Each structure stands twice: as structure tokens, then as C-alpha cells.
Structure 1
Amino acid sequence: MPPSFVYRITKYDPADREEHGQYTGSEDTVSDHGPVEAAYLAAIAAFAEASDMGRLEIREPGVSGFVHFGAEPRFEGHGLGGLFPPDLTGYHDGAEVTLPVALELVRAMLRESGAWCRLEAGDVFTVHVGWDQSVYVGSHRPCADAVTRTRELGLFPEAITTSPYAAELDEPEAVEAADTDFWARVRAKLAAGQTLLLEEAYVRNAARWHRLTAENLDAVRAGFSPRALLTVWPDLKTDVGAVLAALPAEGSVEFVWEARDGMISHAIVDDTEYQELTALVAGARAASALSLYADERHPLLYAVLPDSDGVVRARW
């Protein structure tokens, strides 16, 4: 069940909205990186305090992808520098963070730095950021003092039925658990002499790639991020020149390649970037080009890492 009391917090005076709810005032739709931004964070802190929330869980974390929709430029490290290491260890679905870290995540989202997530405490508290500096807070309590504090901060808390970004409104794709049966199928393919390419999506729009063999499977599995989405593809092709020559005349593809040192990288490229791509992958040992169109992507297997109790909780 979602929280019973939900508020939209904005810097936009409801009196400046037209009949369909569109804001017509003069407030900017980006963060001021200053006192107004600080007011948002203070308001969220007030709601968290009123709800007895000292820690929150990260849900559906993501970073900037191929297309960047933010009004501000991309930030290096997706705005997560200082909160998480460069490899984003600790930034995954289900990770618990303290309230101060949660507020810094909200700051990054207000600045449209590239990172986005929901912050939750079961069905009793939630906070997430929508378009144009709209913040949605839900609680199992009415939080009257927090509502008053938000108004004192110069912001406008509006009671609403539900957030348009509520997790309950999403329709996650049904995927199986990466359980014993899943790994048995992977091992069967490897035992048949195949080498497989595995894509480990650890947050939305970010993935690590691994070439699986019967010998390295257990070691690769030990390094997976919790609740990752795992997609198994046919192995990279050793004739890199042939892969480059077969790129489509138009459109974009995801190009995956293994360098001489064994590092696997990937890039989204379109037909205007093939020359640069050829130079980038010079000397690569193997490569593959994967279509970005859903009806043309045909993985061998895919599944989500369950929690230690065998339950899949990630909402991919």
C-alpha cells in the first residue's frame, strides 16, 4: 500500500496555475543551487523527522543514459561524487542510506545531475523528484508541522491523491530470478564449449560486461551488484573488421568490444560516428553490435538477481 498522505512540494504558487494546472508564473524551472534548493531539502527533512525516518532505501536507481533529458548540462559522475565511489558501489536497488545522504541524492536530482531514484521506507514514507523542480513526499502520517514548516520556507505543499511517479503506477517487465535453474542453463551452455557475453545492468543506463567461461563463471558471479539485471548474449566475434563492416547504414547500435588488455567496453553510436568508432576500437580482440530496437534484441537468457531469501524485489 502507498503512503496515506501525499504532498507535491514546489516553489510555484498554486495561484499562478491555469485551469489545467499548468504553471504560468515567472519562477525558473531549474534549481538555483542556493536558498531555494536548500529550502526544498529542509522541507523534506521536516517530513522525514515528522515520520521518524532516519534511513531510507534507494529504489530504481539510474544514471544518465544515451539520451539526456535534463534541463542542465550533464554532471561528471552523475552528481554522485562524494556520495559513492566512481564505480557506484553502494548505489543500487535496495541499498539503505542515512537521511543526510538521501538529501544529497535529492539535491543531485533537483540539479538534474544525471542520477535519479526513489527513496523509500517500506509503505510508510517515500520521496522522489519529478519534472520542473516538483518533489513528491508521502508519509503514513499527515505531518501537519512539516506542512507548516514547508510554507514557512517559502515553498508550496499541496495535498494530492498520489504521486504521478509512484512505483505502483509502473508496470515492471516480468523477469525470472537468476536462481539455481538459471545458472544451470548458463553452465550447460558453457559446458558445451561456448563462451558467453553477459551484461550486468547494476543501475538503469549503466552496465558492466563480462565474457563468461566455465572457468571464470563463479568468480564473475561473486562480483555482481545486488539486484542486478543479467542479460546473456552470444559471445563477441573475433573478426572485428567484419562486425564493423556489417553496421547498419542508418540508425544507432550498441557496440561492445574487448580491448587487448581484456577490458570490455561499450558505446552507443550512430551512422555518423562509425569512422571515430573504427579508430576507437583499433586493435580490439573481439566485438559485437547489438540493436537498440526491442524487437531486434534477442538475448539468450535474462534474469534478475534475487535477494538472499530467493525473492526478486528489484522493480526492473
Structure 2
Amino acid sequence: MFQYRVTKYSPEERAGTVPSWTSISDLGNSYGGTVFTEDAYLETEQKYLSAIRRFASAQEVTALRIDRLTIDSDSPWWQRVAKGDQLSVDEAIELSRAVLREESVWCTLVVDGEFFVHFGYDYYMYIGIARPSDQAVLDVRRSGLHVDEFESPYLD
């Protein structure tokens, strides 16, 4: 399987030499003299969700299964999803949005042996694909995200 770390962070930000926001809770804080706004957050979030869609499309994935799930009772997703549920790509994108927004839900999404999406701390995302897709990698990079070969720390 081909595995990637997908992130908004430049190499300098990953090294800690340039400060950057790490979650939606950082809205209003200043980084490098620029206030982190909701518009900036939503733009980045959309890039992540588009990356999931782009990689899924490249693998011809139409549905994903919730593999691991942690959900708090105060989450709007409480009782809407369960481990093992099959979600369309659109539904998986919406659940992914909730994970990125830290809405008291975390999960991994999989198509056994073909595809996965794992979410890490501090706005890191890991994607695994069965077949190489240089075009998907290039498209996600062109969106402004960084895509590096990297083994997901959330593999079983």
C-alpha cells in the first residue's frame, strides 16, 4: 500500500521554526503577524476534504467503512454513526469535517486493503491507497497541501 502524510504544514512549520495554528480552537490567534481567521480555517479544511475526495476518486472508492470510532455523547454525531457503518464518500467527507473541527468525534475510514484515511493530532492526516496515483498526489500538492510518503501511525 502507498501511504502518505497530508498536511498544511511546510517543512519549516513541521520543524517548529515557523509558528502555525494546529486546530480550529486557534481562531483569533496571531501567527507570523497574521490573525488566524475563520475564512483561513475553512479554506484549509476544504483542501483536506478535497484531498480525501481526490484520492478516493483515484482509487474508484465509492464507500468507506468506519473502522475505529471514538465519540462523545455531546457530539452531534452521537447515535448517527457506529463502528462498521458504511458511508458514501459524501457522508465520509462530512464526518471527516467533524473530526477536523474537533466535534467530539474521531475515526478512521477504510476500504479493506484498498484505501484508508486516518486523522492525527494537530491537523495531520494520513491516506493509504492500493494503487499509485501520481496525479492525485500532484493535485493535492497544487492545492497547497504537503504530501509526503509516510507510514500512518494509526495502522493496526
Aligned to 1:212: none
Contact 2:66–2:108 (Cα < 8 Å) also in 1: yes
Match of 2:43 in 1: 35
Q: Deviations over 1:157-198 (max 9, x none)?
A: 1111x21111x2xxxxxxxxxxxxxxxxxxxxxxxxxxxxxx
- Counterpart of 1:98, as a letter, is S
Alignment correspondent of 2:29? none
Aligned to 2:118: 128
Rounded Cα–Cα distance in structure 1 between residues aligned with 2:113 and 2:137? 20
Hey, what does 2:139 align to over in structure 1? Answer: 149
1:6 lines up with 2:3 in the alignment: yes
Q: What pairs up with 1:1-316 in 2 under 5 angstroms?
A: 4-18=1-15, 23-31=16-24, 32=38, 33-64=41-72, 77-80=74-77, 88-89=79-80, 91-160=81-150, 162-166=151-155, 168=156
| TM-score, reference length from structure 2 | 0.83
Using the alignment, how far apart are the partners of 1:116 and 1:140 within structure 2?
A: 23
Number of residue pairs the alignment of both structures matches: 141
More helix by share: 2
* Partner Cα distance (1:106, 1:7) in 2: 17
Report the CA distance shift for 1:123/1:35 in structure 2 as closer, same or farther (over 3 A). same
What is the TM-score with the length of structure 1 in the denominator?
0.43
Letter in 2 for 1:60: R
| Structure 1 gaps, min length 5 | 66-76, 81-85, 169-316
Q: CA deviation at 1:79?
A: 4.0
CA-CA distance at 1:62 after TM superposition = 1.6
Instruction: Provide the rounded CA distance (Å) in 2 between the counterparts of 1:116 and 1:17.
Output: 23
8 Å Cα contact 2:68/2:108 also seen in 1: yes
- CA–CA distance in structure 2, aligned partners of residues 62 and 17 of structure 1: 27
The letter of the residue matching 2:128 is G
Q: Which has the higher contact order (CA 8 A, sep 6+)?
A: 2
User: Which residue does 1:241 correspond to in 2?
Assistant: none
For 2:75, what is the secondary structure of its paired residue? helix
Q: Give the drift of 1:152.
A: 1.2
Find the structure with the greater CA-based Rg. 1
Q: Distance in 2 between matches of 1:79 and 1:142?
A: 36
Q: Which string of whole-angstrom CA distances, capped at 9 and with x for unpartnered residues, describes residues 209-238 of structure 1?
A: xxxxxxxxxxxxxxxxxxxxxxxxxxxxxx
**1:132-164: per-residue Cα shift (whole Å, max 9, x none)?**
00011001012211111111111101111x211
Amino acid in the other structure paired with 1:147: V
